[in-house]
Amino acid sequence: MKSLALLSPAKLNLFLKVLNKRSDGYHNLDTIFERIDLCDQLVFTPNPSGKIRVFCDHADVPTDNNNLVYKAAQLLKDDFSLSDGVDIKIIKKIPVAAGLGGGSSNAAIALLGLNQIWKLRLNKTELLDYAKRLGSDVPFFLYDCSWARGSARGDDIQKLNIHTRLWHVLVVPSVKMYSKDVFSALNLELTKPNDDVNILIHSLKKNDLTTVGRLIINDLERAILKLRPELLKSKNEVRGENIKAVSFSGSGPAIFGITATQQEAEALKLKLDKYYTQVFTVRTF
């Protein structure tokens, strides 16, 4: 097989409730994932050396066994006793350590790409097992869907039949945040699932942005602001007269605002470009 190129999309969390801490050290979550059209690209090329080689020109992306793409390839290579090697080039567009799931997406796309390159014929259930071993956000990206609900660690995925395509302005302040640090700073209060997530899903299906804006929540926000209080100013700067809602995605620091139209998102981007180096107009993908 010649080279194979696949897109690796980012995600936003429109709803993120932290329910409790699990015995394995992770947390039980209830979350709504939205896939967006901000994408990396992964290019897979078989090599005769038998080695796994990862290439990326982004300074903050490791190319050794600290990279989830490398780990995904090593898992498959070991489990199937493969002698084949592969070169994987990551063309990075998704900001790193921003709460947008870039590394997790890359890992999932690596599983899909290597399944083809190495002709492993793994089915979705088998691929999901590998995805869960790599990280909690990885399983979502194995699904070809725009919307999904995640439970357990966020890795039990239910595809959602939502056809709405939202427009967002997305700001990534120039700080990095890591999930383990944010969850460590979380002051977990006793909570429980509530019906708001079901109302949110219903409102997304109807494209009722007023209700959607009222129900968006991220339980990690307090921990994010505890670690980086200056991000509250950034969040307030994303607010505009045409913004339906503003929230952090995942463990931050990425901040997204929902607008009714592409034009409103682009207009706000022009204003925010004066203050931030990473501002994007994105849409549900």
Catalytic residues: 11, 137
- Going by C-alpha positions, the residue among 172, 169, 180, 173 that lies closest to residue 251 is 180
**Helices assigned H by DSSP within 207-249:** 209-215, 221-227, 231-238
- Going by C-alpha positions, the residue among 277, 227, 276, 274 that lies closest to residue 252 is 227
- Tokens 């059209």 -> residue: 37
- Going by C-alpha positions, the residue among 124, 98, 17, 16 that lies closest to residue 132 is 124
- Going by C-alpha positions, the residue among 52, 56, 53 that lies closest to residue 77 is 52
**Helices assigned H by DSSP within 145-186:** 179-184
